[in-house]
Chain A
């Protein structure tokens, strides 16, 4: 510390002759920093309207407003965030939580106005709102406002490394491909409690999945219950909408996960596995669920088919106090679930767990009873207050190419392997089809090959009309199939099954596909006739689709049954077909062809039945 002086301060006078350090705003502009947190930008193309930003806003500044003009899409709400700059504190929490990363902050920060109403604002970005975003040469600071902004002026954006949500899913332990391809051991091991809680903790509670789910399960609720380690409560939530969690937890087509808001920049929440976790950890449904005593209504309903739809109808009806009898030709419940999904995917015990619970509620099951053979359809219609038709698709379609009689059909193959005796497979198996059933068939055939020819080299080939990107099977199914060693031949169409002299299958003659769908998006494949190729194989399985079997219905009644243009059974909003008292659901009604949609149909039908018989 020098001695205080009177003269030393006068040295400051020297600054009179130096250039001032002032920024001569607005003539000298200072760009805001790269990360500046200014007004919002929202890419409406990416935004899903999930509302996480509104939930995290500490100031209640974000409101989700409905935009009627938006086209509805899967996993998207017709809502967009609306900002109130009379509330916003520019903290950027909304940016860090935004799962698709559509909400960003720009470097604009001017809005000066005499009217407070202009401070509420629906953020859009340059793409959606071009007139408000001006290129740098047209932009003027002095006019800057919410409707006069600069183009390409992104500031604080979401960074996957620093997001508030966890983009990566908890790894699901699986049996390795080498191990699983030689047995029918269940591929997925399942979460333990910590893993399940951790995974459940990723859920942001935006409920996009609930809208996407055909049966509208209360997904965020039951996942929250899992997070809080209340599996019983979670199971109760599931059972409100879905009585077969053990089945659905394994084979559901998980429309919910396709809609999960985390899917954009990370992996979607493992909703299906979590449902499976709940179903599996609960040893006994009965103790976990409270059974309410309902006064019996005295009405009886017949359900044809014990598939997911039939089971769901039975369950919901019994809860309403109606007597239910379920008829099925198979020796156990589950319908297609019992025969379709291979054992490594859906073990029989899981099916029986769900079916047994429904049975324990008082539903009468008549297995090994084929309607039309053991009991007539007209009898059911006459003697029961209502009949639910949940027969599903039980006939496999054939390609009908030359010699296709020599091929096996997918459903028969699967059924025999699952509940009958194992098939003898060839060393080179060709599977025609690119759907999930084809994958199941191929992978099952592969396992059988490995089990039956443990020493020899074997090969399974999958032929599909569709190319990689169009293949209807799910991505992970294809991935797993590839892991296990299945050869894919996409974009090849079958032309002829080639036989050798003995009449045994020698191979499949294929031709290159030009296109699968026509301009309207209908299935109408065209081929390059000249590009041919012979795939060798000693066994061919056709897995190109299924059709329902209505043979048990008499001609007279069948004529009364109306169909939609997709060749589906027509039902009204109550789930009733054109025949009074006959309700229908499941694969014969909807185009989704999966379990959860069948449950959704069942719920509609149950309401209809209830209304009809009471």
Chain B
């Protein structure tokens, strides 16, 4: 069979995000895959060097559209570490609840993408419907559906509106009530098993060597989770589990995602019960006069896709001197994906890519 050069994306129904993979195929088998990012490169880190600390808050969430919240969190953590800002206790809880909601939303988006990729419209539509319910919660809380700009240094931007706790509980119950439907239709579907089992396997050794984090690692049985390793917000205040699977293939990764979602929901319930009353915001200094001492910091948190890090340097000015995000999709999408795609079938490109949860804007920044 002759070799073909095949472009997967950027204009492609199976592609989530503006990303493309150049495939060299022989028949249905992929000989070589080259990730080709950069369609979404905006030079974020450069732009952030031109804006003052506070002006970067609306910026930073735009890096990752699927889960902007962990981006807000990581930047707030970085700034707090540099400037030594304390956060009230209640704000820690609100942040955790908010981030877990975001994780549920993000995983539902991933589920949509994955199911859609397999041609599984039904489940895809359900997942997107339920994500929309989560977005409604965000809208209620923060005033924006997608970009929330909610976590600030020194706490959160606004307290819970009245009756919001009940709304969270109700929404999560209504989503949770559909878990049997999802299980019946998707997770316990024989054909899902056929399609995903043994596909895109990343062994633990490979994952460790290539810097994998998140589900990629947890699907190989390692309980590596930054929330557990280096707890932030209120993650050390309530007990919770790190779900894992053993096989390291797409099937395991999607199951890890499912279990994580359920664990997140349980965690939200626990956090809601344990949440104290009180202040949620320590006022930051006047934004026009805010300078941060000459220091550097590396902070990390667990986004829905893996370890999200931020290397932040200040030279004592009112702007960051250097910002560099360590995004999970970067390693997953550029190193691991290229390796995992080798010798796979064309039909599985999207399958593997989405099971690794590669989010293109995060790579390009």
Contacts and interface: CB of A to CB of B under 8 A. Distances in A.
A56 B55 contact: yes
B55 A9 contact: no
Interface stretch (A87-95, A187-195, A410-418): A87-95
B115 to A, nearest CB: 12
A91 B146 CA distance: 11
Contacts of B55: 56-58, 93
Interface in B199-234: none
Contacts of A503: none
A6 B289 CA distance: 64
B289 A227 contact: yes
Contacts of B285: 201
Contacts of A8: 184-185, 188-189
B240 interface: no
Contacts of B181: 11-12
Interface string A192-233: 000000000111110000000000000000001001000000
B140 A34 contact: yes
Contact of A35 (B58, B136, B140, B184): B140
A204 B286 CA distance: 7
A547 to B, nearest CB: 45
A55 interface: yes
Contacts of B189: 4-6, 8-9
A32 B51 CA distance: 31
Given A1-B255, A224-B289, A35 B142 contact: yes
A524 interface: no
Contact of B287 (A92, A97, A105, A227): A97
B191 interface: yes
Interface stretch (A118-126, A153-161, A303-311, A315-323): A153-161
Nearest to A155: B143
Contact of B54 (A93, A161, A203): A93
A91 B68 CA distance: 13
A11 B139 contact: no
Interface stretch (A162-170, A398-406, A586-594): A162-170
A91 B281 contact: no
B39 interface: no
B286 A12 contact: no
Residue among B122, B141, B184 having the largest count of chain A Cβ atoms under 10 Å: B184
Given A8-B185, A12-B181, A56-B287, A37 B157 contact: no
Contact of B183 (A2, A166, A227): A2
B284 interface: yes
Nearest to B140: A33
Interface string A15-54: 0000001000000000011111100000000000000000
Contacts of B185: 8-9, 11-12
Given A91-B149, A161-B281, A37 B287 contact: no
A349 to B, nearest CB: 32
A531 interface: no
B357 interface: no
Contacts of B184: 8-9, 11-12
A4 B147 contact: no
A1 B193 CA distance: 12
A425 to B, nearest CB: 47
A603 to B, nearest CB: 29
Nearest to A8: B184
A92 B143 contact: yes
A58 B51 CA distance: 7
Contact of B289 (A11, A32, A92, A201): A201
B59 interface: yes
Contact of A4 (B122, B142, B192): B192
Given A5-B190, A11-B184, A11-B185, A164 B287 contact: yes
A59 B48 CA distance: 11
B183 A164 contact: no
Given A93-B58, A156-B143, A162-B158, A3 B289 contact: no
Contacts of B286: 164-166, 201-204
Nearest to B59: A58
Contacts of B158: 35, 159, 162
Contacts of A11: 181, 184-185
Contacts of A36: 139, 143-144
Interface string B124-156: 000001000000100111111001010000000
B341 to A, nearest CB: 25
B46 interface: no
A89 B147 contact: yes
A159 B281 CA distance: 12
Contacts of A59: 58
Contacts of A90: 144, 147
A35 B143 contact: yes
Nearest to A35: B143
Interface string A67-99: 000000000000000000000011111001100
A8 B188 CA distance: 8
A204 B287 CA distance: 8
B331 interface: no
A227 B55 CA distance: 21
B283 interface: yes
B34 interface: no
Contact of B288 (A5, A55, A161): A55
B57 interface: yes
B161 interface: yes
Nearest to A56: B287
A37 to B, nearest CB: 4
Nearest to B288: A205
Contacts of A57: 55
A43 to B, nearest CB: 19
B263 to A, nearest CB: 15
B278 to A, nearest CB: 13
B298 interface: no
B284 A164 contact: yes
Given A12-B122, A21-B129, A33-B139, A203 B193 contact: no
Contacts of A55: 288
B186 interface: yes
Interface string B148-184: 0100000001100100000000000000000001011
B56 interface: yes
B253 to A, nearest CB: 14
Contact of A3 (B161, B186, B188, B288): B188
Contacts of B54: 56, 93, 164
Contacts of A204: 286, 288
B149 A92 contact: yes
Contacts of B59: 58
A165 B187 CA distance: 51
A4 B56 CA distance: 47
Given A2-B183, A6-B190, A165-B286, A91 B139 contact: no
Nearest to A32: B139
Given A4-B188, A11-B184, A37 B143 contact: yes
Interface string B256-290: 00000000000000000000000001011111110
A97 B142 CA distance: 17
A56 B57 CA distance: 11
28 contacts: A1-B255, A4-B192, A5-B189, A6-B189, A8-B188, A12-B181, A33-B136, A35-B139, A35-B142, A35-B161, A36-B143, A37-B144, A55-B288, A58-B59, A90-B147, A91-B149, A92-B143, A92-B149, A93-B55, A97-B287, A159-B158, A162-B281, A164-B286, A165-B286, A166-B283, A201-B285, A203-B286, A204-B286
The list of the 4 closest CB pairs from A to B, nearest first, reads: A91-B58, A35-B143, A58-B55, A4-B193
Interface of A: 1-6, 8-9, 11-12, 21, 32-37, 55-59, 89-93, 96-97, 105, 155-156, 159, 161-166, 201-205, 224, 227
Given A12-B185, A56-B288, A91-B147, 10 more contacts: A4-B188, A11-B181, A11-B185, A12-B181, A21-B129, A35-B142, A35-B158, A89-B147, A164-B287, A227-B289
